[in-house]
Copies of this chain bind each other. A is one copy, B any other.
Amino acid sequence: MSAPNRVLIAVIGVGGVGKCFLSQLRLLAARRPSPKLSLCYISSSRKALYNDDYSEIAVEGVIEALAASRKAPPSLPEVVEYLAAAPDKVILVDNTSSQHVADAYPLALGLGVNIVTPNKKAFSGPYELWQDILAASTASGAKFYHESSVGAGLPVISTLRDLIDTGDKVTKIEGVFSGTMSFLFNSFAPTDGQGGAWSAEVIKAKALGYTEPDPRDDLNGLDVARKLTILARLVGLPIQSPTSFPVQSLIPKELESCQSGDEFLEKLAAFDSQMEVTKSAAEMEGKVVRFVGSIDVGTKQVKVGLDMFEPSHPIAALKGSDNIISFYTERYGSNPLIVQGAGAGGEVTAMGVTADMLKVVAQIS
């Protein structure tokens, strides 16, 4: 049954970001009575919770209710069909990092289902998928927002869109796009010239929870390459995939065949001298080494890897696991527009998702 002034919210994924999002949604629903944000669908990889009449699922206690559900998640086309047939406007919140879910975006958008997500896969995967998403959104008018796919809740994508939409010419984007890489290099090559052995820093970062369960998933540079792909496409470069431009992996060639992350970590110390050489070369020039991504719009060059910076450079002076993203544009001239802060973590990632959801709500209600 259609309800006046109601927006239906469907959530896929109840991991770290998903749980934080639900807690933000709960607070929000209590504070903002209109339009009513009504949870109508939620699923994990194994369970689902929804009512055929789209009636509201209480957000309070929903994780427990989902665990107790006897329903398995329908197939994604079935989920989309269910949402597209709803009597009210719908926002699908994809809190997974699944390529499989991302592949369903064109179908959902084409049927008028709005999408909000931190999932990088749809926007950094095959170029065709990206084109299909744009086409489906344009045709139906359904919105897709994905602020948290780059820099978590930091205003990166919204700022880039504003620059482009108002007619500025972005000439270059440069920054530290990985909280893991930020932490590693701020520890390994701090501006005051100290720092431990590379392998020890990687082990420390893992112990502190700053890396993926398998640190190779950070060190291969692919996560940063995905973020660069997203931003480069937004400025109009037809980047085919995150592997279609130079990406420097910090996994030594000899360790590419390791069977596990643990084996990799055990053997990494033997290659510390390689990173030490890079660090010393930078120090010889009075600089520090950092792992950065850059997009040169004029020459259409995108690259990810190690680079050297003066200690006073904002990229060198970064703290902790912060991200920094610099937008060089015609209007801003020689001093870029800079956004900086935590670029990972459940709460700040969910914040980007929640803020996006509110922007869509403001447009469709």
Contact = CB atoms under 8 A, between A and B. Distances in A.
A355 B162 contact: yes
A158 interface: yes
A248 interface: no
Contacts of A338: 338-341
A153 interface: yes
A332 B341 contact: yes
Q: Is the interface of A mostly helix, strand, loop or mixed?
A: mixed
A332 B317 contact: no
Given A339-B338, A342-B337, A331 B314 contact: no
B341 A336 contact: yes
A155 B317 contact: no
A154 B340 CA distance: 13
Nearest to A161: B355
A319 interface: yes
A331 B347 CA distance: 6
A317 B314 contact: yes
Count chain B CB atoms within 10 A of each CB in A319, A331, A338 and give the residue with the most. Answer: A331
Contacts of A362: 362-363
Interface of A: 24, 27-28, 31, 153-155, 158-159, 162-163, 165-168, 191, 312, 314, 317, 319-320, 322, 327, 331-342, 345, 347-348, 350-351, 354-355, 358, 362-363
28 contacts: A24-B167, A27-B167, A28-B166, A153-B166, A155-B155, A155-B158, A162-B351, A162-B358, A165-B354, A166-B355, A167-B354, A322-B335, A327-B341, A331-B351, A332-B342, A332-B348, A333-B342, A335-B341, A336-B341, A337-B339, A337-B342, A338-B339, A338-B341, A339-B339, A339-B340, A340-B340, A362-B363, A363-B363
Given A312-B317, A314-B340, A320-B334, 17 more contacts: A24-B167, A31-B167, A153-B162, A154-B337, A155-B155, A155-B159, A162-B355, A162-B358, A163-B351, A314-B314, A314-B317, A327-B341, A331-B348, A331-B351, A332-B342, A337-B342, A339-B339
